[in-house]
Amino acid sequence: MHQTGSRWLRYGAGLVAVAALAGLGSGAAVAVPTPTVQIKDFMYGPAVLQVPVGTAVTWINRDEEPHTVTSTTGAFASGGLVNGETFGQRFTRPGTYQYACALHPQMRATVIVK
């Protein structure tokens, strides 16, 4: 009887291991949080954001004043964002992307895409 119980225990452990390994190779997509830049107190936070190629970044205005997210090279521009509004940009090429607020030019930040 002891051998039979031991055999079932090994069989059960083997099934658990196979099920666990099957989940590893499933190729299922894993949700990655979207990087978010907060616009508050006349600043972008974080001021420097590093992301992999293909990442979409979201900016959200948390200030009472309107702001923009405007690339210094013209690659992207949000237009005016009032409190609570968002803007998204997907970065498909590596590089350093500097941007500023067209309404408040002292507000500057950078996205580094690798």
**Residue 31 within any structural domain of the chain:** no
CA dihedral 43, 46, 52, 53 (to 10 degrees): 0
Residue 98 lies in a domain: yes
- For the chain, how many structural domains are there in total? 1
Q: Could you tell me if residue 17 is inside a domain?
A: no
CATH number of the domain encompassing residue 78? 2.60.40.420
Residue 97 lies in a domain: yes
Overall pTM surpassing 0.85 (yes/no): no
Cβ-Cβ contacts under 8 Å for 94 (sequence gap 6 or more):
53, 113, 114
Strands 95-100 vs 108-113: parallel, antiparallel or unpaired: antiparallel
Contacts by residues 29-34 (CB-CB < 8 Å, ≥ 24 positions apart): 34/58, 34/88
| Assigned domain for 90 exists | yes
Q: Average pLDDT across each block of 10 residues of the chain; the chain has 114 residues. List them in order.
A: 46 42 49 88 98 98 98 97 98 98 98 98
Residue 101 belongs to what domain range? 36-113
